[in-house]
Structure 1
Amino acid sequence: MLKAIATLLLLFAAADTARGGEVTCESRDNRRAHCRVPGDGPVRVDFVLSDAPCIENRSWWRTSTGIEVDDGCRAIFSTTAEEPEPPNRNTYIDLVGTDAVTARATLIERGYALIRTRDGDGEQLHYFRTPGRPACLRARERGGTYRDLDGTDAGECR
């Protein structure tokens, strides 16, 4: 009876996880079973339903499409969908150390817009508007090479 109440409480609490999902996966008669899991994020055991232990990588494991359980493991699993990467996030880091002309052309190909260039102390600072976001990217050029690229205050791109 206590186990049933705990299971119900867990189900109600788990219903609040908006971006993830949950699934009950059961190895019956100690046979392996596969259960589909929504999303591709990490999985955890929320509640063990069996007397047999549910130990990750021994009696249960994550597959590319879900969970597999074995050796009598029966449990309620949950997954949290990983946040999608914002569009074009860090699509510039590979350009550090690249010659400035190539790097600038590559950024423009990737949708960045060159807003302005400023000279100072033996270097040039190029400011690019980040596509689809109000963010701003600053590229530091020295000796014809991009030495540093990083996000900066959006006001720099006005």
Structure 2
Amino acid sequence: MVMRLPIVAATFMVASISIGTLLGVAAPASAQEIITCSSRNNQRNTCSIRTRGRVRLVRQLSDATCRGNWGYRNDRIWVKNGCRAEFSVGDRRYGRYR
């Protein structure tokens, strides 16, 4: 009985880790697609995105402010006036970010 307990405990741990891994892979709605878009020479620039979903600014990378200097429409993000940032692209169907 003394030798059996460690084997049972080890088997339980492996099974728990395997199930956790499977559940983590099976939840693609929580994964986010991050797009970096940059204004070059303070000019307006657009960046393609693969969805017509919602977009939010995740992190500003430029010294120039991105406040009021970015937006999105359909399948594109636009930036201007030196804004450079990372954007999270979401899916409208589920109201979640991808």
TM-score, normalised relative to structure 1 = 0.38
Q: How far, CA to CA, are the matches of 2:91 and 2:38 in structure 1?
A: 22
Aligned residues: 66
Counterpart in 2 of 1:63? 73
2:93 maps to 1:83: yes
Runs of 4+ residues over 3 Å off in structure 1 = none
Q: How far, CA to CA, are the matches of 1:63 and 1:75 in structure 2?
A: 17
Unaligned runs of 5+ residues in structure 2 are 1-28
The structure whose RCO (Cα within 8 Å, separation 6+) is larger is: 2
Kept in 2: contact 1:27–1:73 (CA 8 A)? yes
Once the two structures are TM-superposed, the CA of residue 64 in structure 1 deviates from its matched residue by 1.6
Looking at secondary structure, tell me which structure has more helix per residue. 2
For residue 73 of structure 1, the aligned residue among 67, 83, 92 is 83
Aligned ranges 1:18-97 → 2 under 5 Å: 18=31, 20-55=32-67, 58-83=68-93
Provide the alpha-carbon RMSD of the alignment. 1.8
SS in 2 for 1:29: coil
Give the number of the structure whose alpha-carbon radius of gyration is greater: 1
How much identity, in percent, do the aligned residues show? 38
